[in-house]
Amino acid sequence: MNADIRIQAIGLPQRDLLMAMYDRFDPLGAALGLPPRNAEGGHKWIVGALGQIVNVAAFSRNGEVVGHCFVVSDKPSSAEIAVFVHQEYRWRGIGAAISGFSWEGLESQRSEQHDDVRVTDSLKGFSPRPPSRAIRRDHR
């Protein structure tokens, strides 16, 4: 694991950094919910993702986004989590770390302003692996 991976909440100011990751992104397979493969569709998808209730990114030592996680509230009482890790950084605990950070953000928002957000049955018992000690988490 790269000792300089930094995880933090992101928003529209980091849009271009996120677009750069997805422009280089190669999904493992095909599934619904993946970013569109063409640039225009992908950029619209990213702006939509950044409008969701929780957005977290993992940054490499040189400041590139190497992982992205966001939480989509599909109705007032439930949410889904989406996790994408750049192919060169997979299997290093980054997905688990950004999932956990996102989960904490969702819990924080729930306690602060979204009391109606609840853990759905499919996520009860979800417990991401603890992140590697090499991952730095910035709570801003």
**What integer pLDDT is reported at residue 69 of this predicted model?**
93
Amino acid 28 reads L
Is the pTM higher than 0.85? The answer reads no
DSSP string, 30-68: --TTPPPSSHHHHHHHHHHHHTSSEEEEEE-TTS-EEEE
pLDDT per residue of the chain (140 residues) written in tens, 0 to 9: 446 899 999 999 999 999 999 888 877 655 556 777 777 888 898 898 998 888 999 999 999 999 999 988 777 777 788 899 998 998 999 998 998 888 776 666 654 444 444 444 334 344 444 444 445 555 55
Top CATH class of 5-138 equals: alpha beta
**What integer pLDDT is reported at residue 121 of this predicted model?**
38
Domain ranges of the chain: 5-138
**What integer pLDDT is reported at residue 117 of this predicted model?**
42
Q: Name 109's Cβ contacts closer than 8 Å, sequence gap at least 6.
A: 53, 54, 117
